[in-house]
Structure 1
Amino acid sequence: MRSGIMRDAAVLAYLPDPFGLERAEFFLSEAAGQSRRVAAAEVAETAVPIVTVEAARLITELRSLGVAPPPDLIDLGEALRLLRGKAKNDGGAKAADPWRMLKQTASGEPSEAATASFQKMFVSETEWPGEAERLAVAEQVLAVLRAAWHAALDELDDCGELQRFDGVERPVAQVFYGRQSAGISVDLAKIDTLISVADREKYTAYNRIAETLGVSPSGLTFRNVGPWLERTDAAHLTPHVSAANFEEYVRLAATYSTFAAQLVTLVRATRDLRALARLRGDAAGVVRPEFQIMGTVTGRILVSNPALQQMRRSYRDVLTAGPGKRLAYLDFAQFEPGILGSLAADRQFLERYNAGDIYRELAIALFNTADRRDVAKRMFLSFSYGMSPDRIVDILGGGARAETLAAFQAFVSEFPGLMRFRKAMEDALQQSGHVETALGNRRYRTSNGELRHDERRWAASQAVQGTASLIFKEAVLRLTEQLGAQVVMLPMHDALLLELPEETYDADVEVAEHAMLSALHNRCPGVSGRVVVADHF
């Protein structure tokens, strides 16, 4: 059994090189062997699965020594994120902290002090002791890590998440660990120009916000803007500032609110500048971002250091293909509405969805023009994730509220199955305390009694977005089975950026498109689906 293979995995503890002097240390313990210090090359050549903590950091250390990651690397933290099923704002980061679990596993044992000491060495909070003492400490930590891993495996099995972890999360992780090690090419010649553009954009938004508020907006973000909203044309957002998805509220309000639009520009330009600065920092023209496979409670993959997913389209062409390669951007069109219709088994909605563009239809119904398709898309997705039409229209703002609300309610009332599905997810959360997809990925309540407003909203969202992440990851696996893991460059929300050989580009794109659609059809029969293909993103 695969679970048996994982139970017999080797465990690896390592001490990152704090000074860039190529002195990182690696300690390995195989199932039937003793703990020992090993060279980086032996880590890379280990055939059995290896369990460790902070896999992305390990890959960075190995890469600095000219070594690729091992073929089957398991991050304890990824397993814990799947197990705990909590969003970051519900304490998910703390609950899934692998160091916390190691300390809990060692609590009251002789290895407790060794575990605490090793973590301090790991984060460079203390000087390393002598070589013999480091090995002695590492031996105890490896025993703790093995015990923690076995406990996590048992918990995965008990709560029905083992198949998801072993069949989806674990193999997908290998794809992106390989990409982190290989890196992504960057067009250094474009970076300074793009930084100048983003800087001007940020400066313009900064000045306009300063004029509105009468103070400098330095450090202003979505998280701390609340006290200033009453001075702006986005005052109607004040009651919602504590919402976990407040950024989405501001982006929706930006349709009519000048202040909201400028705040969105300021924050996003700041993010772009931060990412571009990180890209410029690598003189070799290669960036090696880190990938968190269970990056959100819904299972979305997050990219960090730098946060390439957050870069706006106008700045993304700084990423390039390697020699003899060409980029392909494949995007699931209207991905989540199709999933929602399938989960809700709403035949009328699926017929309309399969026949055309549901966002365009809504834009015409609300605004008498298809030009506001992007606004309609944001509104429909908010509805899909559990927000009521009344609240969506309130957040949108602008004039003609009554007419917009009536048109929105009339549109969604044509699809009663969608509302029944939302109610069914709320009932499931109330009764069982969690919502899950067709293959695990549960999200758990953190309170008792009647559902809170935010819980009613994420009940449907977890099912829809969790299913979307499952389909996306299964598409990655289908695609890499045929084209190889090396073609996958970046996950971009509902899209994949691929790096394909020029000589087989057209054929490979066709294979990739088919792999993505077959993954969708496997989980959502009755949804036609469409993948939009471009050679840029």
Structure 2
Amino acid sequence: MMRFRLMNDFSYLIYQKDFSEKGNDRYFLYDIDKFQEVTAKDLLNIDKTIITHDYWLIANSIYKEASALPKRVIDVVLLAKINIGIKASTSSDQPWDISNTIKPLFKDECDFDNYTQMYYRRIELSEETYMFFSHKLAEFTEQALDKAKILGEFDRFISLEVPLFNALVLSACKGIRIDNATLRKHKEQLEFDYYRELKRFAEKHNVFYQVPNEGEIREKLSGLGYETAGYSLDFLMEFIHSKEEYTDDLISLQKIYKSYRIFSSISLSQKRIYPIVETHWTSTARIYQKSPSLQNISKKYRNIFIADNGLQLSYVDYDQFEVGIMAAISGDDKMKGIYESSDAYLELAKAVFSDKGLRGKAKILFLSYTYGMSLDNILSSVSSLSGNQKAAKAYFSEFSTYEKWKAGVYTEYESKGLVSTIKGNLLHRTGSGELTQKEKRTCVNHVIQGTATYIFKEALLELCNHKEVEVLIPMHDAVLFQHPATFKPQEAVKVFQDKMTDILDGKVQGKASIEPFYAG
């Protein structure tokens, strides 16, 4: 683990991006009262940890010029995001942006504004202005690291988040190879599939010929009798039974639309894709690749990705990940028994619907319960699916220990104003008073999903450090990677299983498997 004794352990990088991509990027380093312009290759020889902001914008330029990246980089935007510990707002202005973290350190805001104008090449660069900003960057870094220590976030940030961030940024800069013939085929097919699905959806549900926005979706759901107040749209779409098949059809349309948009953004002349990686995209610290958002590509179109010459692709995935985590952290023996001896969702499908084919619906019911949906709403969903309400009530009533654990999470969130995963990643409450139903769902979800992300990241970092493995696309609880034939994919499975088992103190045994990445 990196330990910082003094701020002298750092060098501060301030850059000016050449948005024309002609290689005219400029780099400046501030180090122990010395401020100087350097080259991309100079950055590779820096032994200290480099501090910067919005590293995603310049990393690819450094890699193009130097064929490598600096050894260790800390992005203060990532650090601020972890410290602040709240969900992103719906606006483009986020509390961890430098305009909200570093700008307040300037006595005269015009000095910060001048820097941003130069940063975006709107006015001529002044080294004096850049040097002044570097001092404020150093000042903020010291404050942010001290805050991380106070919050208990420092160790995780340094030992896990920073090295994984550097590994995944490097992977994104190297790019992912794609098959152009398959890309062309999918582009043509997706355009046809999208407009066919859009027409079918509009005519079936009597709506406009367009993908509906959130307001239109909520209006439609209200008209169908849904109680939408206090529920996020994602929760309504994922966990509430689909009336008149509206949400099922909408999810299908949205998946095709996302794939259609992603493929439309990829040029047929491209040989590789270079996504932007966000290693702390959500408050639960999920990893996300954007521009393009590769994780949103439907399985049937994923065969555009191919391994580099001499290598093979493999995809390792956790099995019943959330169920195992819930069993371990709640101590519920019933849930643990289900996780260890069977498929929890299949067992519920048999018990309630007498139909193994409804495993997908059973999974939705199970997760809706665990994330806080009321038993009345669950039983209503069971009834609408012609299931056995009595059997469902008996099934869920057995998780008494899990219910007590959830109540404890609610109490902690309300009394302390924050809740933690098994290892840091605090979620700070923005409201007050008695918890709303939405807040109850949010805090339980944070503990479970945040713990899942922590386990996944630890496993992912170990894979990144394996000399024969190149991580390509991290998903929610799975990862696509490439490797030589000498590497056995079951080694990755063992890494996933052992990390989960160890982090959860052996309360459950981790389960993972090699799965198909593409479903043609």
Q: Could you tell me the TM-score, scaled by structure 2's length?
A: 0.93
1:257: Cα distance to partner? 3.1
Instruction: Give 3-state SS (helix, strand or coil) of 1:51's partner.
Output: strand
Provide the C-alpha distance between the structure 1 equivalents of 2:376 and 2:91, rounded to a whole number of angstroms: 30
Quick one: structure 1 residues 480 and 212, their matched pair in 2 at CA, closer, same or farther if it must change by over 3 Å?
A: closer
Distance 1:228 1:459, change over 3 A: closer
1:361 matched residue in structure 2: 347
User: 1:50-69 alignment to 2 at 5 Å?
Assistant: 50-69=50-69
Is the 8 Å Cα contact of residues 176 and 472 (structure 2) preserved in structure 1? yes
Which secondary structure does the structure 1 equivalent of 2:78 belong to?
helix
Bigger Cα displacement from structure 2, 144-153 vs 15-24: 15-24
- Deviation at 1:461? 1.1
Q: Which residue of 2 aligns with 1:177?
A: 169
Q: 1 CA distance for matches of 2:405 and 2:8?
A: 39
Partner of 1:27: 28
| CA shift for structure 1 position 264 | 1.5
Moved more, 21-30 or 328-337: 21-30
Mapped contact 1:249–1:395 kept (Cα < 8 A): no
Match of 1:346 among 314, 332, 344: 332
What corresponds to 1:517 in structure 2?
497
Asked if 2 retains the 8 angstrom alpha-carbon contact of 1:86 and 1:92, the reply is no
Give yes or no for the alignment of 1:488 onto 2:471: yes
Of the three residues 272, 275, 285, the one matched with 2:259 is 272
Give the corresponding residue for 2:508.
527
Displacement after TM superposition at 1:255 (Å): 5.2
Shift of 1:505: 3.1
Deviations 1:116-174 (A, max 9, x none): 112123335x2x31xxx521111011111111111100100111110110111111111
Q: How many residues align?
A: 516
**Correspondence 1:499 to 2:482:** yes
* Residue 236 (structure 1) aligns with: 225
Look up the match of 1:40.
40
Q: Which residue in the other structure is 2:13 paired with?
A: 12
Q: Offset of 1:310 from its aligned partner?
A: 1.2
Q: What letter is aligned with 2:323?
A: P
> How many Å separate the matches in 1 of 2:204 and 2:229?
19
Are 2:373 and 1:387 equivalent residues in the alignment?
yes
Q: Give the distance between the partners of 2:241 and 2:464, measured in 1 at CA.
A: 39
Written as runs of structure 1 = structure 2, the 5 A alignment for 1:94-493 is 94-106=94-106, 108-109=107-108, 112-124=109-121, 126=122, 128-129=123-124, 134-212=126-204, 214-222=206-214, 224-229=216-221, 235-237=224-226, 239-240=227-228, 243-244=231-232, 246-253=233-240, 257-278=244-265, 280-281=266-267, 283-394=269-380, 398-400=384-386, 404-483=388-467, 487-493=470-476
Is the contact between residue 382 and residue 388 of structure 2 (CA under 8 Å) also seen in structure 1?
A: no
Instruction: Evaluate the alpha carbon distance shift between residue 142 and residue 363 of structure 1 in structure 2; reply closer, same or farther with a 3 A threshold.
Output: same
* Cα distance change on mapping 1:242 and 1:438 into 2, 3 Å: closer
Read off the aligned partner of 1:69 and give its amino acid letter.
L
Partners of 1:190 and 1:318 within 8 A in 2: yes
Measured after TM superposition, the shift of residue 535 of structure 1 is 5.4
C-alpha distance 281-91 of structure 1, shift in aligned 2 (>3 A): closer
Distance 1:396 1:136 in 2: 67
Provide closer, same or farther for how the CA distance between residues 214 and 513 of structure 1 changes in structure 2, counting only shifts above 3 A. Answer: closer
Q: Offset at 1:456? A: 0.7
| Cα pair distance change 1:489/1:42, threshold 3 Å | same
Residues 228, 264 of structure 1: alpha-carbon distance in 2 compared, 3 angstrom cutoff: same
Change (3 A) 1:392 1:3: farther
SS in 2 for 1:505: coil
What CA distance in whole angstroms lies between the structure 1 residues aligned with 2:222 and 2:282? 32
Secondary structure at 2:281 match in 1: coil
The question of whether the paired residues in 1 share the 8 Å contact of 2:222 and 2:228 is answered with no
- Sort the Cα spacing of 1:214 and 1:349 in 2 relative to 1 into closer, same or farther, 3 A: closer
Contact 1:256 1:397 (8 Å CA) reproduced: no
Aligned residue for 1:2, secondary structure, equals coil
SS in 1 for 2:225: helix
Q: Aligned-pair distance for 1:293? A: 1.0
**Cα distance change on mapping 1:135 and 1:428 into 2, 3 Å:** same
Provide structure 2 residue ranges, at least 5 long, that are not aligned to the other structure: none
Q: Which has the larger share of helix? A: 1
Q: Does structure 1 retain, via aligned residues, the 8 Å contact 2:175–2:275?
A: yes
Give 1:306 deviation, angstroms. 0.7
Cα distance, 1:458 vs structure 2 = 1.5
For 2:84 and 2:105, locate their aligned partners in 1 and report how far apart those are by CA, in whole Å.
16
Deviation at 1:3, TM superposition (A): 3.1
For 2:360 and 2:178, locate their aligned partners in 1 and report how far apart those are by CA, in whole Å: 30
Structure 1 residue 203: Cα displacement: 1.4
Query: Secondary structure in 2 aligned to 1:3?
Result: coil
Distance 2:16 2:471 in 1: 29
Question: Could you tell me how far 1:449 is from its partner in structure 2?
Answer: 0.7
> How far did residue 337 of structure 1 move?
0.6
CA separation in 1, counterparts of 2:443 and 2:92? Answer: 17
Amino acid at match of 1:260: T
Cα deviation, 1:232-277, whole Å, max 9, x if unaligned, reads xxx133x316633x23422445755332222212211111012112
Q: What is the TM-score when the length of structure 1 is the normalising length?
A: 0.90
Change (3 A) 1:389 1:323: farther
